[in-house]
Every structure is written in C-alpha cells, then in structure tokens.
Amino acid sequence: MLNQAQKSYIAGFLDGDGSIYVRLKPNQSYRYGFQISPYIVLFQSQKDQINFQKICNLINLGYLRVRKDGILEYIIGKTDAIRKFLQIVKPFVILKKEQVNLMIKILDIKENIKNKNDFIKLAKLIDDFRELNYSKKRKKRILTP
C-alpha cells in the first residue's frame, strides 16, 4: 500500500518523465479491424537504474525494459493495471490531468462497445487523446460508419 507521499511522487514522475497514450493499430483479427492499445510508460536513464528500479517496485504494475539507447522504460500495458495506476496518481497529477481523465473514459467506453458506431466514437476519442500528446509522427485517423 502506497502512502500519500509515494503516490504524489509517482504522479510527479509521470508528469515529468512519463507518457500516457493509446494506439489504434490496424489488425484484421479484431472485430472492427483495429486493436486498441493503451499504455503508460515512465522513462529514466540507465545510469540511474537502481533508483528507478525502486520506483518500479513501488508501483509493481508493469515491467521494465532497457532500450538500446540507454533509456529504461517502465511499461504498464494491461487494462486493469492501467486503471490501478491512474487511481493512484489521479488526485496528484498536474500536467497530465487531461490525459488521465480521458484515458479513464476511453477504458470505460472500450469495455462497453456494442456496435460499430460505439467503436467509431471510441476511435474519435482516441484521436482526441493523441492531440493532447506531442508527436512528430502523429496521423489523424477518423473512422466513418
């Protein structure tokens, strides 16, 4: 169980060295031809791996990956783990508050898709989410019914 100071610290870490995003990836094996992939990633230089590992162990909802460029990524990709993490940081996050709230909404809608129109509404929300994040490679992808 995390205390208030730990929750606040983790929220600040997300604000400064983290990313919240959701991808809509073409995949014909899914019902509407797209896979919805939400993620939360925290970043740190491999030079500070010992301290970063301590933070990851506190969170305990994802896995650590070492990139070839010397950057560590702590990746949370399972929906239930993302929800738990967002509950932890929501009261404390400042810079990524819109992303946190919209990700919660996206996860809620994702669980209740009943038809193609529901899926299209979700895809539009995902495009809205992408506008909140900086990306050099951003492509707007709106599906039509």
126 within domain boundaries = yes
8 within domain boundaries = yes
144 within domain boundaries = no
CATH no. for residue 119? Answer: 3.10.28.10
Q: Tally the domains of the chain.
A: 1
Residues recognised as catalytic: 16-17
Task: Report the predicted TM-score, pTM, of the whole model to 2 decimal places.
Answer: 0.86
138 within domain boundaries = no
Task: Decide if 75 contacts 63 (C-beta within 8 A).
Answer: yes
> Which amino acid, 6?
Q
Task: Decide if 66 contacts 46 (C-beta within 8 A).
Answer: yes
- Domain range enclosing 110: 4-132
140 within domain boundaries = no
39 within domain boundaries = yes
34-90 confidence digits (pLDDT tens): 999 999 999 999 999 999 999 999 999 999 999 999 999 999 999 999 999 999 999
Residue 16 pLDDT class (50, 70, 90 cuts)? very high
